[in-house]
Structure 1
Amino acid sequence: MRSQRGWFLLFLLVEVVVALFATFGGADFDPLTGLLVLAAAGGWTLVTIRAQREQENELVRVRQIAELAQQAVVRPLPPRLGGVSLAVHTRSANDQSLVGGDLHDALVAPSGVRVIVGDAKGKGMEAAHLSAVVLAAFRRHAAAAPDLVTLAGALDAELFPHLGEEDFVTVLLAEFAPGEVRLVNCGHPAPLRIGHRLEALEPPEPSPPLGLGPDPRMRRAGLGLSQRLLLYTDGLSEARDADGVEFPLDHHVRHALAAPGLDHALPNLLDLLDEHAGDLRDDLTLVLAQPVPVPDPAERVPGPAPGDLGVTVLPADSGNERP
């Protein structure tokens, strides 16, 4: 619409120029020449407007195709999966760019509900391609992989042939079992446990992202029915205000995410984010999860015993948790 106004103004300017020549040109002004100039300018304007409309229509079609492709790659999650309630929010930094590098998915495995959240380096179709590869690998291997470390290795192996020299994908894998969550982090922001306080569940040791030789270790953390876990991409943690200050993950965030109902908690968090940063400069994915009671004991699938992995499970909100 703005472009059409521009061409109309240009056409109007040509008319004004012709009128001025007609008024002040005196005997030297040829009215036929003025009419030809005016007709040529009008015809050129109409052709340009039509071409502009065709281009805009083509962009709309491309946008629709991109939206369908993104929906096919990143599937919407149900509000409940197994013994876990879920709420998801995704947002693009650019309304015109629906295809990006953020990814998420979840499924039920024999050892519990498994969730993936990740972020491919870059933007646009190249990042979307890497995201699609990781998601496809997750859907192939997540149900059968014996543990999350093995799953991370399978994702890295399938991603490797598709990587350029500087490509990588950060990934956080979570497995929800009764009373706890198991985490494997490959270069991704640490998830937040929301309870009496807000805690970042950092990995036992840092690991590079997929594509850069990941070597993660699993962390186990208590997660009760009254607690929640937020998995997110760096569009949240690296959102900056006008002074360059990053979005603080503080008690305000804890209060927002503790709202009754997951469907109210994420909007509260987004209000805080918008107040701090305004326009997003990066894609954003939020997955908020909370364990729920499973009435039928037959639906409860126990995970491996704590001693099987040589780790200690401490109560939720413990400040002395060990990997």
Structure 2
Amino acid sequence: MFHIGGALTAGGVLTAHVTLNEWRLTPSVLLIGPVLTSARKGPKATAGVVIWSLVLFVTWTVALSVADRHGSALSPATVVFDSLVLVIGGGAAVYGARRRVQREAELHRVVQRSRDAVLRPLAAEADGVVFSSLYRPVSEFGLGGDLYDLAHTPYGPRLLIGDVRGHGPEAAVLCAATVGAFREGAGGTPALVDLAAHLDTRISGDLGPEDFVTVLLAEFAPGEVRLVNCGHPAPLRIGLRAEPLAPSRPSAPLGLGPRPQLQRARLGVGERLLLYTDGLSEARDAQGTMLPLDDRVREAACLPLVQECLDALLSLATAHAGGSLQDDLALIMCERRCATPTGDGGRTPGPSLVRDRYL
């Protein structure tokens, strides 16, 4: 804080000396520091720079009066007037910083409430499956390009995770549109492949020329999970080892003409399924090496508590990236606790929609 004030003041002094050929500190010069500080820092930091400027002005004035160099000593009235100008201008800078911080805090609260309405934290159990989520956007206001949602449907619990191209407000709007389309269609679309087509149709009007959304849909039935993958990283089944459940035929993301197939994968009691965005798999170290989904990921995903697993995975990705993630990150951990029937609605769709084999 004081380094900032000192550097700005010194720059102002040198500028005044070069232009006016005198070593006088004026309120306009000394207010440079508080004004610039108020634009980036809070009221306390700004007040500190104001105090620094005022002390420097008084000290400088006294030193010039003692030296009386070039007849530059100021009259007491001038000193008092300049001090008042500095105090009033500094107070205005502190007030401006306070107002800016309040506006940013209010904006952050609004964004947080809006984000929580779209990306509701998951901490639920449905049909014998426990779900838990973790979300870390890189934006300071919490606006990111990752999305997820859970729907309780007649066909069993259905899960969505996805990643919008880009970051920031535009990506957040597309996230909201995708989640809204999922909530609209999840309970009334029997086939998971048709649900993906529904999402693609519904968000088409919100996509720009270069926009797309990778999504993974999961539907949980007794002993298995059904997956539809549109260009998204393959989930990991965590058992004796971490197995990626990649589709046999990759599909394009939403917005680029997706043609996904339905997968069926075994998910027994005690097994876990990790769904994630590329903020995990593409976290890079200083050399550009991506985080390998190896035994360290499996160890983190096998901790006793599901939320502990997510926290450990976040720590692993952050440490690999050098302490700061460069991309949004969403994680969902699902654990099969018991084999609970889902009723008639949970029956497997017809053979034209299902690959009749287990992964």
The TM-score normalised by the length of structure 1 is 0.90
Report deviation, 1:258. 1.7
| 1:132 maps to which of 162, 176, 179 | 176
Which residue of the partner structure matches residue 76 of structure 1? Answer: 121
* Conserved 8 A contact 2:123-2:133: no
Segment of structure 1 superposing worse, 9-18 or 207-216: 9-18
1:58 to 1:112, Cα distance in 2 relative to 1, 3 A: same
1:28 to 1:175, Cα distance in 2 relative to 1, 3 A: closer
Which residue of the partner structure matches residue 317 of structure 1? Answer: none
Structure having the higher Rg: 2
Report deviation, 1:310. 5.2
Does 1 or 2 have the higher relative contact order (CA < 8 Å, sep 6+)? 1
Q: Deviations over 1:187-219 (max 9, x none)?
A: 211111111111111122222211222221222
* Conserved 8 A contact 1:205-1:217: yes
Give the AA of the match of 2:248: P
Alignment of 1:159 onto 2:206: no
Alignment of 1:252 onto 2:293: no
CA distance in 2, matches of 1:130, 1:212: 15
Which residue of the partner structure matches residue 221 of structure 1? Answer: 265
Segment of structure 1 superposing worse, 127-136 or 264-273: 264-273
Alignment of 1:144 onto 2:188: yes
Give the AA of the match of 1:37: D
1:70 to 1:206, Cα distance in 2 relative to 1, 3 A: same
CA distance in 2, matches of 1:298, 1:55: 52
Which residue of the partner structure matches residue 318 of structure 1? Answer: none
Which residue of the partner structure matches residue 109 of structure 2? Answer: 64
CA distance in 1, matches of 2:87, 2:305: 60
Gaps of at least 5 residues in structure 1 are 315-320
Which residue of the partner structure matches residue 68 of structure 2? Answer: 25
* Conserved 8 A contact 2:133-2:330: yes
Which residue of the partner structure matches residue 116 of structure 1? Answer: 160
Give the AA of the match of 2:336: P
Alignment of 1:283 onto 2:328: yes
Report deviation, 1:255. 1.8
Q: Deviations over 1:61-92 (max 9, x none)?
A: 11111111111111222320223111111112
CA distance in 2, matches of 1:228, 1:300: 24
CA distance in 2, matches of 1:305, 1:188: 23
Q: Deviations over 1:24-77 (max 9, x none)?
A: 226552312222222211211111111111111111111111111111111222
Segment of structure 1 superposing worse, 15-24 or 297-306: 297-306
Which residue of the partner structure matches residue 29 of structure 2? Answer: none
1:3 to 1:218, Cα distance in 2 relative to 1, 3 A: farther
Alignment of 1:2 onto 2:45: yes
* Conserved 8 A contact 2:231-2:250: yes
CA distance in 2, matches of 1:241, 1:4: 39
CA distance in 2, matches of 1:49, 1:246: 45
Which residue of the partner structure matches residue 348 of structure 2? Answer: 304
1:242 to 1:219, Cα distance in 2 relative to 1, 3 A: same
1:298 to 1:306, Cα distance in 2 relative to 1, 3 A: closer
Q: CA RMSD in A?
A: 2.1
Report deviation, 1:300. 7.6
Query: Residue 310 of structure 2: SS of its match in structure 1?
Result: helix
* Conserved 8 A contact 1:231-1:287: yes
Give aligned pairs, total: 313
1:248 to 1:6, Cα distance in 2 relative to 1, 3 A: farther
CA distance in 1, matches of 2:50, 2:288: 40
Query: Residue 177 of structure 2: SS of its match in structure 1?
Result: helix
* Conserved 8 A contact 1:120-1:130: yes
Segment of structure 1 superposing worse, 13-22 or 210-219: 13-22
| Identical counterparts, % of pairs | 40
Q: Deviations over 1:134-153 (max 9, x none)?
A: 11110010111121211111
CA distance in 2, matches of 1:192, 1:18: 70
Structure 1 stretches of 4+ with a deviation exceeding 6 A read none
What are the residue-to-residue correspondences of 1:81-120 with 2, within 5 Å? Answer: 81-94=126-139, 96-120=140-164
* Conserved 8 A contact 2:61-2:73: no
Query: Residue 79 of structure 1: SS of its match in structure 2?
Result: strand
* Conserved 8 A contact 1:306-1:312: no
Query: Residue 244 of structure 1: SS of its match in structure 2?
Result: coil
* Conserved 8 A contact 2:61-2:74: no
Segment of structure 1 superposing worse, 103-112 or 152-161: 103-112
Give the AA of the match of 1:236: L
Report deviation, 1:294. 4.9
CA distance in 1, matches of 2:231, 2:171: 16
Which residue of the partner structure matches residue 312 of structure 2? Answer: 268
Alignment of 1:36 onto 2:81: yes
* Conserved 8 A contact 1:14-1:41: no
